[in-house]
Structure 1
C-alpha cells in the first residue's frame, strides 16, 4: 500500500476563489500511519488579498504575522509542490479535505501555474477522515468520543474531538497541529473500527470505487444529514448522465411497486420523499460496507 500525505491549510478566507493559503502543514506517513517526514510553512499575504476577520480569529493569525514571513505565497507553494514530488505517490487525506482543503489547493495551484490535480492523478489517490469518523461511529458506536450540540447530535469538529479522544492538540487551528490531530483520529479508526478503515481503502480511487459499486449486488453506504449518519442498503442502477455518479436503488423500498409504474407516474414518484433512488458520489471517498451493516 502507498504512503499517506496528511495535510491541512490555514487560509485568509473561506472563499477558495478570493482567499489565500497562508499556512501549510503536511505529514508523510507509511501505511501504518508512522511519520516519515513533514512540511510546515507560513507565508506573507499577497498584495490585493483582503483577509476575512473571522478567518484570522479562527486560525489565530495576527496582521503582523501576515506581513513578516520570509516567504511569499508563490515561494511557499513552490516549496510545497517540490516536497510532494519528492515524497512520490501517495494517498492525500485530511479532515474535511475533499470539500475544503483540496478545492482550495486546486484553485491555488491553477493560480500559480502548477498542475491542479496532483492529489488524484498520476497514481495519487485521496480520502477524508471526516467521512470515516462518521462511518466508524455509525457502524461501531463509541469508536470516537464526541461532544454534543444543543440538538443532542455528535459534533465532528477537530478541535473538540482531539482532546476528548486523548489526542494532543495544543496548537489547534494551526496547520501542522490540525494535521497531527487528524493522524491521531485516523489511528483510532484503524485500530477500533478496522473494517471501516479497510473498506475506505477500496474507495480512495474513484475508478475503483465505481467498479466496486457496480460489481456488488448489494452494498451498504452511509449518508450524513441533519446531524446524523444513516445507513442505506442499495443496489446499482445506472450512472448520472452528466456527473456520472452511480444512481442506486434504496432497498428499504419494494422495487416491484416501481417496476410496474407507467413512465409519467414513475417520473412523479422520483420527485417525492422519501427518495427511493440515491446518489453515491463515488469520487468523494464513500465508505462501502457489507449489506449486513444496514441494520446499524
Structure 2
C-alpha cells in the first residue's frame, strides 16, 4: 500500500461553515518515494466570509480569493477524484483526522459528493500528529520537541521539523504543499527513530487494529495530548458504532461503581469523568500493557490496576448502568436548524439519493433545479443542491428560487443575529481587535482585508435587488 499525504488551507476553523481554499497532495509508493505532487486552489464561495486571522496567517489576499481557475464545487470534485484514483493508500496529514478530514467530509456533503469518500473506499486513515504524540509519550528520547515558556511541549509542524533538522521555514509554513512535504519528512523520521511505536500506530490506521487490541477486555494504555492513561475496554458505545467505551483505571471505581444511571451520567459529564471513548476509526493512541506501561507517570503497582479491572467486570449492575447512562448522554442536544451542521444528525445518505446526487452533477445546470426538486428526497441535500445552483449558475433557477437565494445570501453575509458562522460585521469587528496587537509588517495586509470587507458590505443590496458576485478589491 502506498501513501497519500494531504494538507488543506481553509477560510477559517469551522469545518461546517468554513471551506478549503487550497489543497496539496504528495502521493508516494510503499517506500515513500514521491510519485506525484499536486496543488489545487479555488475561488472563495460567495456566501463565505473568511477569517481575517486565517488570511493573515496564510498570506492569502482578497485578490487571490477571486482570481483562481476553479470554483469551490470544481475543486471538491477534483479532490474526490484524486482520493479515488489513489486507492488503496494510507491517507496521512498533520492534525488531519481532527480538522482536514472533517473539512473534506463537510465540503463534500455540502457539494453533493459522497461525504465519506476518504474513509469507506479501502483507504487507511492516519494522522502524523497522533503518531508524534505517541512517540513523545512512549519513546520520548526518539524525538526532539521544543517547549514553550511554561515548559509544555510545542507540537506545531514547523517548530517540530526545525527542531529535528527538517527545513520547514516560517515563510513557507501554512502553504499547503510545503506543509505536506514536511509532513512526509516527519513521518519518515518517526518511522526511523521509533519503529516499534510507529508500527503499532500504523496498525491503528484501520479499525481492525484498535478493535483487536481492545477485544479481550484486558487493561491497555490510552494516550491523550500529553499523558498516558491505563484503561479497561468494556462496552461498545451506545451512541457511536465506531467507538469503544473504556474506564480510567487510574481512578478508584469505588467512587462510582454503584451509582445509578442518572448519577453516573452526572459523573461522566463532570471534570472527573472515568469514561474514555476510543474511536476505532480515528487512529487512537493505544498500546498493549507491555508496550507502554513503563511510560505511565506516577503509576500504581500493576496489581492495583488489575484488581480495579476485576471489580468493574464483576460488579452485578455497573455495566448495565453504564449503558443506560451513555444512551442518554446526548439526549438534551438540540439538532441544528442549518443544513451545514446536519451531516451527522440527519443519518447516512440513502442509496437512492446517492444516485440522484451523482446524476445531479452530470446534467446541465438548467435541469438541476427540477432534478433536485423531484429526485433528491433528503431535505438536507435538496436544500444544498439549490444552494449550489444559486452560487454557481443563478440564472438557471426559477425566479422564485433565485429570490429565496438572494434573501439567504443577504442574511448569511450581513445578519446581526447570533449565528454560528462568520458574518461581515463579525469579521470587521475582528479586524479592529487585530489592529491593536498586529505586527507592523502586517498592517498593510490587514488594511487590505478590512477595505475588501467594507466593499462587500457596501455592495450588499437591499430587499429585491440582485446580490452581486464576489469580487476582489
Query: TM over 0.5, yes or no?
Result: yes
TM-score, length basis structure 1: 0.88
Q: 1 CA distance for matches of 2:264 and 2:46? A: 53
The aligned residue for residue 78 of structure 2 is 79
Shift of 1:166: 1.3
Unaligned 5+ runs, structure 2: 296-473
Shift of 1:253: 4.9
Shift of 1:238: 1.1
The aligned residue for residue 236 of structure 1 is 233
CA 1:274–1:78: 2 relative to 1, 3 Å: closer
CA 1:253–1:166: 2 relative to 1, 3 Å: same
The aligned residue for residue 284 of structure 1 is 282
Q: 1 CA distance for matches of 2:174 and 2:258? A: 55
The aligned residue for residue 162 of structure 1 is 161
Shift of 1:274: 5.0
CA 1:105–1:264: 2 relative to 1, 3 Å: closer
The aligned residue for residue 141 of structure 1 is 140
Shift of 1:70: 2.0
CA 1:277–1:21: 2 relative to 1, 3 Å: closer
1:1-296 aligned at under 5 Å gives the runs 2-170=1-169, 171-215=172-216, 217-224=218-225, 229-244=226-241, 245-253=243-251, 257=254, 262-264=258-260, 267=263, 271=267, 274-292=272-290, 293-296=292-295
Q: What SS does the corresponding residue of 2:24 show, helix, strand or coil?
A: strand
Shift of 1:164: 1.5
Q: 1 CA distance for matches of 2:117 and 2:62? A: 31
Q: What SS does the corresponding residue of 2:48 show, helix, strand or coil?
A: coil
CA 1:262–1:179: 2 relative to 1, 3 Å: closer
Q: 2 CA distance for matches of 1:236 and 1:270? A: 21
Contact 1:196–1:287 (CA under 8 A) maintained in structure 2: no
Shift of 1:28: 1.1
Shift of 1:270: 8.2
Contact 2:42–2:72 (CA under 8 A) maintained in structure 1: yes
Larger Rg: 2
Contact 1:143–1:188 (CA under 8 A) maintained in structure 2: no
Q: What SS does the corresponding residue of 2:222 show, helix, strand or coil?
A: strand
Q: 2 CA distance for matches of 1:141 and 1:232? A: 16
CA 1:62–1:269: 2 relative to 1, 3 Å: closer
TM-score, length basis structure 2: 0.57
Contact 1:44–1:73 (CA under 8 A) maintained in structure 2: yes
Contact 1:74–1:112 (CA under 8 A) maintained in structure 2: yes
Contact 1:159–1:173 (CA under 8 A) maintained in structure 2: no
Q: What SS does the corresponding residue of 1:37 show, helix, strand or coil?
A: strand
The aligned residue for residue 466 of structure 2 is none
Q: Could you say what the CA RMSD is over the residues aligned between the two structures, in angstroms? A: 2.4
CA 1:264–1:55: 2 relative to 1, 3 Å: same
Contact 1:27–1:38 (CA under 8 A) maintained in structure 2: yes
Q: 2 CA distance for matches of 1:133 and 1:161? A: 9
Contact 1:258–1:266 (CA under 8 A) maintained in structure 2: no
Deviation per CA, 1:115-156: give whole Å up to 9, x if none: 110111121121111111111011111322222122210011
CA 1:197–1:270: 2 relative to 1, 3 Å: farther
Could you say which structure has the higher helix fraction? 2
Unaligned 5+ runs, structure 1: none
Q: 1 CA distance for matches of 2:209 and 2:179? A: 29
Deviation per CA, 1:15-59: give whole Å up to 9, x if none: 222222111101112233222222211122222322111111111
Shift of 1:165: 1.4
Deviation per CA, 1:211-250: give whole Å up to 9, x if none: 32113623222122xxxx2122333211222124222233
